[in-house]
Amino acid sequence: MATSPTQLTLKLLRDEGWTVEVVERWIPGANIRKDLFGFIDLVALKNDMTLGVQATSYSNMGARIKKIENAELLSQVRRASWHLWVIGWRKQNNRWTHKVVDLS
């Protein structure tokens, strides 16, 4: 993927009027990425809504959904009334397309 799912999702959400920030971080030395609460790459705000997003490739959506469903902190995030989306990206006919799965 020449353009990352995170970058594509940032643009999509900002174009839809969300205020969005990347909350996934790189841990130097360990060479790993750490998601917020173990499953959130982006946090977005719009009106009275807080959205946690896992951005991925279309082919990895199933694995990401399973990761979220098994996350230790999932119930706490849901009790806090956060919305949770997995957004998967793929190229079709030379254009980026996405699919959103709502796990709220």
Q: What is the pLDDT of residues 2-16, one digit of tens each?
A: 589 999 999 999 999
Domain positions in the chain: 5-102
How far is residue 35's CA from residue 92's CA, in Å, rounded to a whole number?
A: 28
Please give, one letter per residue, the 3-state secondary structure of 16-84. CCCEEEECCEEECCCCEEECECCCECEEEEECCEEEEEEEEEHHHHHHHHHHHHCCCCHHHHHHCCCEE
pTM beyond 0.85, yes or no: yes
The answer to whether the CB of 51 falls within 8 A of the CB of 83 is yes
**Span 5-102: which CATH code?**
3.40.1350
Q: What is the pLDDT of residue 1?
A: 47
